[in-house]
Amino acid sequence: MATGEAANIRIYWADATDWGAMATAITAAAADGCDVCSISWGSDETNWKAAAAMAGVDYPGRLSTAAEAAAKAGIIIFAASGDNDSSDGGTDPANVDLPSSCPFVVGCGGTMKPHDGNAEETVWNDDPGNPNGSGTGGGFSELFHPMPAWQAGAPHGPGRMVPDVSANADPYTGYNVFVHGRQEAIGGTSAVAPLYAGLFAAFGRKLGLVTPQLWLNHTCFNDIIHGDNGYFRARVGPDPCTGIGTPIASKLGTLFEALNKPPVHPPRGQRRNPTRA
């Protein structure tokens, strides 16, 4: 949250063994009036489906309902797309991570940004071509379909495409943090979600479901066109590796400043001149 230095940060604990806990945590954040929510945990949709079938409870539906209500209350939810390439750690080479696959959540993928400023930023994948290595998750949801209309321009898939956006997630060129008093670099898409949360916390309050606006404004992002996450390859335009790309903060700031600017009303007693055809 370093990009939102003046933010008040709340931490909500969700038991990873309780598949309903994430929805409960999101609901609590909404009730407390939070503006942004960052989630760095997720699991393959196959695991969610298995847990739901075993318990007879629609856990994915519960999470989606909670996320939709939170978005209507003005919260932007950012979630990591996973760090196990396109398989998301599953047996199938193409899976996606939930909560990031939920349509009311901004899915956050990863890139590799070399230390050399002149080198090209590419899809984060430590073992290119491997669908089950260390790299950004991404693909198409089998739980949330059809693809949302606002994902126009995305490759056709069975459901919602993940991720929406991305940023540097390579542990070798990632984020310097202090752990037990010692500085070390960390990465993963778990670092990308809080990066975006901090960034958007600086843009205004109660922005809610911003994903459609992001997809309408590709020029606010750097398109990542090379690399793969195992099963999928980057391309020009949106793709299931890095979404619409990495943020250009200045352009996003200008965009949301314009969107949130209150309308100008004429002083009382004055009227605008009517426009003649």
H helices present in the chain, as ranges: 21-31, 45-55, 59-72, 189-201, 211-216, 249-259
**Is the predicted pLDDT of residue 264 greater than 80, yes or no?**
no
| Whether pTM exceeds 0.85 | yes
**Is the predicted pLDDT of residue 270 greater than 80, yes or no?**
no
For the beta carbon of residue 89, count every other beta carbon within 10 angstroms.
Answer: 16
The pLDDT tens digits of the residues spanning 161-199 come to: 999 999 999 998 888 888 899 998 889 999 999 999 999
* Residue pair 106/60 in contact by the 8 Å Cβ criterion: no
For domain 23-257, the CATH class is: alpha beta
**Is the predicted pLDDT of residue 275 greater than 80, yes or no?**
no
Mean pLDDT of 24-30: 97
